[in-house]
Every structure is written in structure tokens, then in C-alpha cells.
Structure 1
Amino acid sequence: MPAAARCPPRGVGRAVTRPGRALLLSPAVGSRAAPPTVGGCPCDSGSSRSFNPSDLLRHAAQDAASPRRDRSATGRSTCASTSLAGHSCASRAVRASAPRFPPALLIGGAFQRKESWGRCEEVLLRSMDVFTVDPPGWGAADMLPETYGGDFLADAVCHMLDEWGAGQVNVLAGSYGSAIAYEIARRHPDRVGRMVLVGTMTAIPDHAQAAMRRTLEHLAAGDMETYARVTVDLLMTPERLADIPNGARVRRLLLRRISNLSEAEAHQMRTNTLRLLTHQALDTSRPPRPPVLTVAGEYDSFTTPELCRQMAAACADSWHAEVRDADHMVILERTAEVADLARRFLAGEALHGLPYCRSIERVSPGGTG
């Protein structure tokens, strides 16, 4: 058994300069994977840590759902930290009281940590164990130079699953995390049973690349208020804000969260954005085999419904769903609905007649289920 240890504290990272002069860390050569340290996760204990701005996303997700919160299926989580090729990563496991389906692996977007899945996690825990991760480069993990692509991140996530002794898992991934999930399914097809990719695309279009580079200019200048505004304008659709339940509140929470990034988090955002720009397109020459559901908010102007559908078309066995009254931040805006949709698909249930979906389409008929 690995030695007991506390979950890595929030905001842990190597010392960095100002965001405009971020230090790039050199990859370790020939490093062996370090054994994990495991222990009870203080993330579940309100008295063991101070408030962190990243809690805003978790509270937004919980508040956007129904007022009644059912914790009967949840247990205390356990965290583990390990490393791959000299780069640390962290994971978290929560066991369901009566699991009926394979475990769910949750891989978040740019501003999500392993603790921030809120209501989505609670819904899945009613019928399956849940693993959440901070891959190298975000959350509690170390910085990761942008020269590392999705293949390394996919291998790091599989390494964390190996340390937990997990076999095949189902996957729910959002935005940035969807590229990692796609690579896991492509490189390690036997590890994935079914997969839900929310706010995804196979390649970043030119207009989005230009907007992402503009965000980096503001980040380099240390102008965090402008950086927050242009980033949120990219991720949300301002002209549709009035049509999105909780849209204005989610926007305020994101602006506050991003404008208050720590220096280490700002460095993470810089390198992760550069990683997306450096490794722009996924390899679609060898489609992943597991059944895939892509999900887009109907008003998403970043990973548009058409771009998400193109991702579904790049998979061998796929469906595509559009969620009503949502944009790219659909996981926060329609938390209960996304959680229900994901649970249904991961459990192999029918997706017909869901009132919160504008459309659900069979895209690539690679198999049954």
C-alpha cells in the first residue's frame, strides 16, 4: 500500500514569474513514474481549508440544479498524487454505495479542478463510482510545457487509473478535457466503455485561434480584468445571455474567478492555451471504437453545434445532442440536464424525448447500443 498522505493543497505549483514572463519547465528525460501517495481528501471537509475562487464553479454547478441535493449515494472521497515522466498529476475517487455500471472518469475543462464537478458527480454516484483528475498542467498538478500534447495527457490519465487499479471506465469530458478523452479512446480503446464529450471539436477554427491569441496578450500584460472579459466573451455568447438560464450569473462567476487567478494558475492558463494552439487538430485517421455522444449548447459560438457534430462524425459509433438554452458553458448553465443526459448515455439507456434537448441524432452507426 502506498504511504498515506494528504491531498495536495489547492493552488500548489512551482514558483513562477509574472504571467507575461512565465517560466517553461523542461521535460524530464527517462524519468520513471513515481508511486502515488493516497489519503483522505480534505476537499470534502469544509473546516479543513479556506475558501478558494475555484469553489465558485462548483457552487454555480450545484445552484443551477434543483434545490434538493441527494447525497445518499455519495461517500467520502480519497485523493492520490503520482507523476509520469517527472510531471505530477492528481486524482480523486468517490465510491458509490451501490454501483450498477462501470466507473465514470470525469475530465474537466480549463477552469475545472478535480473537486469542481458538483451536481454532475452526485447524479453519477447514484449508480457508478467516480474518478476525477487533475492531469499534468492544471489543478493541483505541476506546470506542463506546451510542447506536450494530448497523447502525453491521455497516457497520464491512464497511469492514474492504473494506480487506482481501475479497468475499463466510462468517460465524461468537457471542452479542453474532451481532447484528452478522445486520445484515451483512440490510444487505449480497451480502457473506455462509453464516452460523452461536451463542447468539443476536432480542430480549432481560425477565428477562435485569433481570439485565443488575443487573450494571451492581455494575460502577458498582467491586465487580468480585460483577460477575464475577453476569455468569457470567447467561452460564452454575450448576445444570447438573456436566453440562457443562469447565464448572467455564470458569466459573473467566471469573470470573478478568472480575474482572480493566482500567478501559478495564470501560468497554467498560458501554457494550456499555448498547448491548444500548438497541437490544434486531433488525429481522426483512426477513429476511436467506443460509443460516443457529443453534446453542444445550441448557442455555443466557440465549439459550435456543427463543430461538435463533426467530432461525432470522426468517431466510429456516435450520437450528437444539442441542449436547449445553453452555450459553451452548458455544464454550468444546465448542470442537471447535462448530468441526466450523460448518465443515460453511459448507462446505455434510450435518449428519445428528452425535453431539454433540441435534437438528438445518430451520426455514425458503428454498432448497437
Structure 2
Amino acid sequence: MLLDHDIDGPADAPAVVLLHSSVCDRRMWQPQWQPLLDAGFRVLAVDFRGFGDTPAPAETYDNAADVIALLDMYGIGQVSLGGASMGGRVAHELAARWPDRVGTLVLLCAALRGHPPTPAIIAFSDSEDALLEAGDVDAAVKLNVDTFLGPRATDETREQVAAMQRRAFEVQLAADDVASVQVDTELSAITARTLVVSGAHDVDFFGDIAARLTAEIPGARHTALDWAGHLPSLEDPAALNPLLLDFLRG
């Protein structure tokens, strides 16, 4: 399956690939899109299977391999890779499996497969499951918005995230439950220059992961944002974008 995506910028420009959170879809990167183009990058943002405009999977799938297939289709070799939450997990797994394809890695409040859950994230997951089992999608959407957006998020941003989360629920709840491939990866295999970003207002689970990613990815740099929740690229783009651009420029 070819992932739905947006791409813009000169074919010979350095490529930046953006991978979205499970609360969102590729629309979450709209505040970064034009600044990246203006900075001279070629920009690609995808919808994973079951999110945004990409249909839900009908068989076992591999998110990282889906991204590689898209890069190969465009003849794009090495990229800068940015990922938020679930997209961050896919990003560091891709960078570990295909280290020659990723020169720069930016992980925003990234997830990590198999990391021990905290009581707070267990409580969130249990509440979300109960609401969806009861058919209360509206409440499940609100739970995600309230949990994952920090204090700088505007009402408009909350509405945007709600729309993206609702779309994901609609697509996924109407489809069969299909598991993704789980490929063992080692963070130590990553060779990309790496920035790990965490938010002070995020669920503690993701702060723990940020510390582990920083410790285990060779040479990784950690930046903690005292103003941010789980989705800093949406909560305050004016504060996040200079950090992102500076790191991408090296």
C-alpha cells in the first residue's frame, strides 16, 4: 500500500520527512510546512495506515518499511527524519534498521516499543478503551485532546487535533484489528545526529522515554521544553520551529 502523503520543494534539495503522532495525521505538520520550504528543504509528510487519507491495513504491515518504499519511489536517498509520539517511534526504528538513510533525526515526545508503562499512561489507556467500548467516541476524542495538549494550545489547535483524532477513530473502528510487524531494533545502531525533545506538561511516560532515548542513542542531544505538552509542534509553532530548523541546518 502506498501511503497518502504531501511532498513539495525542489527535487535536488535536502529532504525532510515528517511522521505524525497517533493522535493526529499528516495535517499536524502544517505549521512547519512553509518554514521548512522557505529554509530550502524538500518536505514529505505521510499518513500512516489507518490515519488521515490512508486506508486501514487489511493485512500485517510495517510502518517503517512503508516510509522507505515511499522514499524509494521518489528516488530519495538520505533524509532528515522528524517524528512525533508514535511517529517518533517509527522514526527511530527506521533509523536503526536503515542507518544509511537517515542523516538527522528529531524525536518529539517519541514513543518506544516495550518501554514499561507508568500508572498515568495505564490510566489513560484504560479510560480510552472503556469509552470506545461504550461507543462514546466524542468522550474518547476529548480525553485525547485534554491529555496530550499542553497549556499553550489554542482553542483552534484543540479543534484541529480533535478532528484528526476523530478521523483516526472513524477509520480504525470500522476496520478489522490488524497488527503491525514488530522488528527488534537497537537504539545503539542509530548513526544519525539526533535531537530528543520532551515536554514538561506531557504524560510522565514520555519523559521517561526521552531520557532513555538520550542515553541509548549515540551522541543524542536532549532538549526539555518547560512550556510543552505532548504535541509541541502544534501547541506553539513559533517556539518550536526555530529549534527544529536550527538542528536540521546543523
Task: Give the structure-1-normalised TM-score.
Answer: 0.59
**Cα drift, residue 339 of structure 1:** 1.9
Q: d(CA) in 2 for partners of 1:211 and 1:218?
A: 11
2:32·2:237 contact (CA, 8 Å) conserved in 1? yes
2:84·2:107 contact (CA, 8 Å) conserved in 1? yes
Q: Residue 233 and residue 320 in structure 1: after superposition, are their counterparts in 2 closer, same or farther (change >3 A)?
A: same
2:86·2:111 contact (CA, 8 Å) conserved in 1? no
Amino acid at match of 1:245: R
Q: Residue 271 and residue 250 in structure 1: after superposition, are their counterparts in 2 closer, same or farther (change >3 A)?
A: farther
Written as runs of structure 1 = structure 2, the 5 A alignment for 1:333-352 is: 333-348=235-250
2:31·2:234 contact (CA, 8 Å) conserved in 1? no
Instruction: Quote the residue 1:299 is aligned against.
Output: 201
Written as runs of structure 1 = structure 2, the 5 A alignment for 1:227-306 is: 227-236=140-149, 244-247=151-154, 249-255=156-162, 258=165, 263-267=170-174, 283-284=185-186, 286-306=188-208
Instruction: Quote the residue 1:79 is aligned against.
Output: none
Q: d(CA) in 2 for partners of 1:299 and 1:327?
A: 4
Amino acid at match of 1:325: W
SS at match of 1:332: helix
Q: Residue 121 and residue 154 in structure 1: after superposition, are their counterparts in 2 closer, same or farther (change >3 A)?
A: same
SS at match of 2:140: helix
Instruction: Quote the residue 2:67 is aligned against.
Output: 157
Indicate the RMSD between aligned Cα atoms, in angstroms. Answer: 3.0
**Cα drift, residue 218 of structure 1:** 1.4
Written as runs of structure 1 = structure 2, the 5 A alignment for 1:52-63 is: none
**Cα drift, residue 195 of structure 1:** 0.6
Amino acid at match of 2:4: A
Q: d(CA) in 1 for partners of 2:8 and 2:156?
A: 29
Larger Rg, first or second structure (1 or 2)? 1
Q: d(CA) in 1 for partners of 2:143 and 2:169?
A: 18
Pick aligned residue for 2:77 from 135, 158, 167: 167
Q: d(CA) in 2 for partners of 1:283 and 1:250?
A: 34
Q: d(CA) in 2 for partners of 1:311 and 1:336?
A: 25
How many residues align? The count is 246
Amino acid at match of 1:220: E
Q: d(CA) in 2 for partners of 1:117 and 1:323?
A: 18
Q: Residue 204 and residue 157 in structure 1: after superposition, are their counterparts in 2 closer, same or farther (change >3 A)?
A: farther
Pick aligned residue for 1:217 from 102, 127, 130: 130
Amino acid at match of 1:197: L
1:103·1:169 contact (CA, 8 Å) conserved in 2? yes
**Cα drift, residue 266 of structure 1:** 4.1
1:200·1:303 contact (CA, 8 Å) conserved in 2? no
SS at match of 1:89: coil
Q: Residue 305 and residue 154 in structure 1: after superposition, are their counterparts in 2 closer, same or farther (change >3 A)?
A: same
2:145·2:161 contact (CA, 8 Å) conserved in 1? yes
2:4·2:54 contact (CA, 8 Å) conserved in 1? yes
Identity %: 24
Q: d(CA) in 2 for partners of 1:204 and 1:131?
A: 32
Q: Residue 319 and residue 219 in structure 1: after superposition, are their counterparts in 2 closer, same or farther (change >3 A)?
A: same
**Cα drift, residue 324 of structure 1:** 3.0
2:22·2:85 contact (CA, 8 Å) conserved in 1? yes
Amino acid at match of 1:109: S
Q: d(CA) in 2 for partners of 1:300 and 1:192?
A: 27
2:194·2:220 contact (CA, 8 Å) conserved in 1? yes
2:25·2:51 contact (CA, 8 Å) conserved in 1? yes
Amino acid at match of 2:141: A
Instruction: Quote the residue 1:361 is aligned against.
Output: none
Amino acid at match of 2:109: G
Q: Considering fraction of residues, name the structure with more helix.
A: 2
**Cα drift, residue 121 of structure 1:** 1.3
Q: d(CA) in 2 for partners of 1:92 and 1:189?
A: 24
Instruction: Quote the residue 1:16 is aligned against.
Output: none
Q: Residue 146 and residue 312 in structure 1: after superposition, are their counterparts in 2 closer, same or farther (change >3 A)?
A: farther
What residue ranges of structure 1 are gaps of 5+ in the alignment? 1-82, 238-243, 349-369
Q: Residue 153 and residue 250 in structure 1: after superposition, are their counterparts in 2 closer, same or farther (change >3 A)?
A: same
* Per-residue Cα deviation, 1:89-119 (whole angstroms, up to 9, x for no partner): 22321015994xx210111112433344212
2:50·2:172 contact (CA, 8 Å) conserved in 1? no
Instruction: Quote the residue 1:48 is aligned against.
Output: none
Q: Residue 283 and residue 98 in structure 1: after superposition, are their counterparts in 2 closer, same or farther (change >3 A)?
A: closer
**Cα drift, residue 199 of structure 1:** 0.8
Q: Residue 147 and residue 298 in structure 1: after superposition, are their counterparts in 2 closer, same or farther (change >3 A)?
A: same
